[in-house]
């Protein structure tokens, strides 16, 4: 027997007495069915309600294909008739997001002709995919203004019930995807949508709609947006971050972005100059180690990055060394073995022995190997083995 879904006509009842119609499981979790329920089951891009049934905690609500609504709980209630409580903060948040989505989708279509292809009302933020390949902040500003002015007019949300024959009387934004009884959500002179979700009574209860970003998907644009209290919380942390960052730099908040851009450019230039100086120092060190006439180089550093160990080995080869064993104990134990093209050794033939000694992983070619050792002791053992092998000729 299908559960009576009372939230369709009354999304504001959060406390009621429920009669248990069945106890079972949903996806392996204990679940309860009520004869009638104000709990909303996940559907249409809107998440399910949370709350309590007696002493049981409602963790999810799902509807089966047979129309039965299952309230997933931590443990089934003991009584057949129990007090039920919908988590109102969560429910009202979902009502704000869903009503806001209708308002924003209608604004997108009215102002730009962009249809809403899909929507998802998430735990933290909601998204709608729209039929546009591009969007700009000026577009967003125009759309947000239109959508929020509609909210501030505090228009009523009107619900209608019809069927497949009567649905033609409504100029719906998109055709319904259900059969049988069809529920129409109307925002007068703004939007008509077939929808089974929960909505506020008036647009003013949504509070505010704010787009917080977008990305390109499948040739379309996916907008992320927040409504009501979510938008307020998001605005709070962004404002705090902006003002505190500007204060630390003794700037006006409107000057912060330009300041950060200049700082990023200066950082990139300094990084470039630092890399150039490091390369010069490494080349000088390599030439000093190779000497005249050129000699093989074997150096195990206490601290040197993998990139520096490899760069040192290549710099030594450039300075004329016949072969190089360059290692480091930290921060990442590493071993680099390289030889000049004129040297006859096949380094790849040494790889199994060096991997075993260093207890590491790596690879390379006949003229260059790189091994990530298991630890400092492994790097030291591999270093000694490579130096001994190459010194033998």
pLDDT in tens, 200-231: 999 999 999 999 999 999 999 999 999 999 99
pLDDT at residue 1 tops 70? no
Residue 177: phi, psi to the nearest 5? Answer: -110, 15
Closest by CA to 196, choosing from 212, 185, 207, is 185
Cβ proximity of 203 and 136 under 8 Å: no
Tokens representing 278 are: 């490091």
DSSP H or E segment with residue 272:
helix 256-290
Q: How far is CA 1 from CA 22, 68, 88, 284, in A?
A: 10, 7, 27, 85
Comparing 164 with 157, which gets the higher pLDDT?
A: 157
Query: Which residues fall within 8 angstroms of residue 334, CB to CB, at 6 or more apart?
Result: 304, 306, 309, 327, 328, 370, 371, 372, 373, 379
SS3 state of residue 310: helix
Cβ proximity of 332 and 358 under 8 Å: no
SS3 state of residue 291: coil
Instruction: Please report the pLDDT score of residue 69 as a whole number.
Output: 95
Query: Which residues fall within 8 angstroms of residue 249, CB to CB, at 6 or more apart?
Result: 256, 259
Instruction: Please report the pLDDT score of residue 183 as a whole number.
Output: 94
Write down the residue that tokens 């206490």 correspond to.
302
Over range 354-373, report the average pLDDT.
95
Distance between CA 223 and CA 346 in Å, rounded?
Answer: 57
Tokens representing 134 are: 């591009």
Distance between CA 38 and CA 11 in Å, rounded?
Answer: 7
What domains lie within the chain, and their CATH numbers?
4-86 (2.40.30.130), 92-243 (3.30.980.10), 274-391 (3.10.310.40)
Cβ proximity of 18 and 36 under 8 Å: yes
Instruction: Please report the pLDDT score of residue 60 as a whole number.
Output: 96
In this prediction the pTM is 0.75
pLDDT at residue 115 tops 70? yes
State the chain's mean pLDDT as an integer: 94
Q: Which pLDDT band, with edges at 50, 70 and 90, does 100 fall under? A: very high
Q: Which pLDDT band, with edges at 50, 70 and 90, does 177 fall under? A: confident
Q: For 167, which DSSP code?
A: G
The β-bridge partners of 137 are none
Residue 103: phi, psi to the nearest 5? Answer: -65, -45
pLDDT at residue 393 tops 80? no
> How would you list the strands of the sheet with 158-162, edge to edge?
158-162, 182-187, 191-194
Closest by CA to 49, choosing from 98, 6, 85, 8, is 85
The β-bridge partners of 227 are 209
Q: For 204, which DSSP code?
A: G
Q: For 218, which DSSP code?
A: T
DSSP H or E segment with residue 390:
helix 376-391
Q: What is the CA radius of gyration of the chain?
A: 34
pLDDT at residue 340 tops 90? yes
Cβ proximity of 371 and 358 under 8 Å: yes
Is the bond preceding residue 256 a cis peptide, omega within 30 degrees?
no
39-83 pLDDT tens trace: 999 998 999 999 999 999 999 999 988 889 999 999 999 899 999
Distance between CA 363 and CA 160 in Å, rounded?
Answer: 70
Instruction: Please report the pLDDT score of residue 174 as a whole number.
Output: 87
Instruction: Please report the pLDDT score of residue 381 as a whole number.
Output: 96
Closest by CA to 61, choosing from 78, 37, 94, is 37
**Helix 137-152, helix 88-112: angle, nearest 10:** 120
Comparing 67 with 155, which gets the higher pLDDT?
A: 155
Over range 268-285, report the average pLDDT.
94
Q: For 195, which DSSP code?
A: -
Instruction: Please report the pLDDT score of residue 239 as a whole number.
Output: 93
Q: Residue 157 CA to chain centroid, in angstroms?
A: 33
Over range 172-195, report the average pLDDT.
91
Q: Which pLDDT band, with edges at 50, 70 and 90, does 128 fall under? A: very high
Tokens representing 232 are: 């307020």
Over range 257-270, report the average pLDDT.
94
């Amino acid at each position: 027997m299908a559960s009576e879904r009372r939230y369709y006509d009354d999304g504001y009842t959060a406390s009621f007495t429920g009669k248990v119609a069945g106890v079972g499981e949903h996806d392996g979790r204990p679940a309860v069915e009520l004869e009638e329920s104000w709990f909303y089951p996940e559907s249409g891009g809107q998440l399910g309600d949370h709350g309590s049934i007696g002493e049981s905690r409602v963790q999810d609500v799902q509807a089966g294909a047979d129309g039965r609504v299952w309230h997933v709980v931590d443990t089934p209630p003991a009584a057949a008739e129990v007090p039920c409580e919908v988590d109102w903060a969560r429910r009202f948040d979902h009502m704000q997001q869903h009503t806001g989505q209708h308002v924003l989708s209608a604004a997108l279509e009215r102002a730009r002709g962009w249809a809403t292809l899909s929507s998802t009302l998430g735990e933290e933020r909601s998204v709608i995919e729209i039929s546009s390949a591009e969007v700009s902040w000026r577009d967003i500003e125009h759309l947000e203004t239109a959508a929020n002015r509609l909210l501030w007019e505090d228009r009523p949300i009107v619900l209608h019930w019809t069927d497949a024959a009567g649905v033609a009387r409504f100029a719906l934004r998109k055709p319904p995807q259900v059969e049988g009884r069809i529920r129409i959500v109307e925002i007068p002179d703004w939007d008509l949508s077939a929808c089974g979700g929960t909505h506020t009574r008036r647009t003013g209860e949504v509070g505010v709609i704010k787009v917080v970003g977008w990305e390109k998907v499948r040739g379309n644009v996916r907008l992320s947006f927040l409504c009501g209290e979510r938008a307020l919380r998001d605005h709070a942390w962004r404002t705090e971050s902006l003002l505190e960052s500007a204060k630390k730099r003794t700037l006006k908040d409107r000057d912060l972005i330009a300041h950060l851009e200049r700082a990023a450019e200066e950082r990139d230039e300094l990084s470039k100059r630092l890399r150039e100086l490091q390369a010069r120092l490494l080349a000088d060190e390599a030439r000093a180690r190779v000497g005249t006439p050129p000699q093989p180089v074997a150096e195990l550093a206490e601290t040197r990055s993998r990139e520096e160990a490899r760069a040192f080995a290549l710099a030594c080869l450039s300075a004329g060394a016949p072969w190089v064993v360059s290692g480091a104990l930290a921060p990442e134990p590493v071993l680099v073995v390289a030889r000049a093209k004129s040297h006859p050794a096949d380094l790849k033939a040494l790889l199994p022995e060096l991997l075993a000694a260093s207890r590491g992983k790596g690879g390379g070619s006949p003229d260059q190997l790189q091994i990530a050792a298991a630890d400092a002791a492994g790097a030291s053992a591999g270093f000694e083995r490579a130096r001994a092998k190459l010194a033998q000729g």
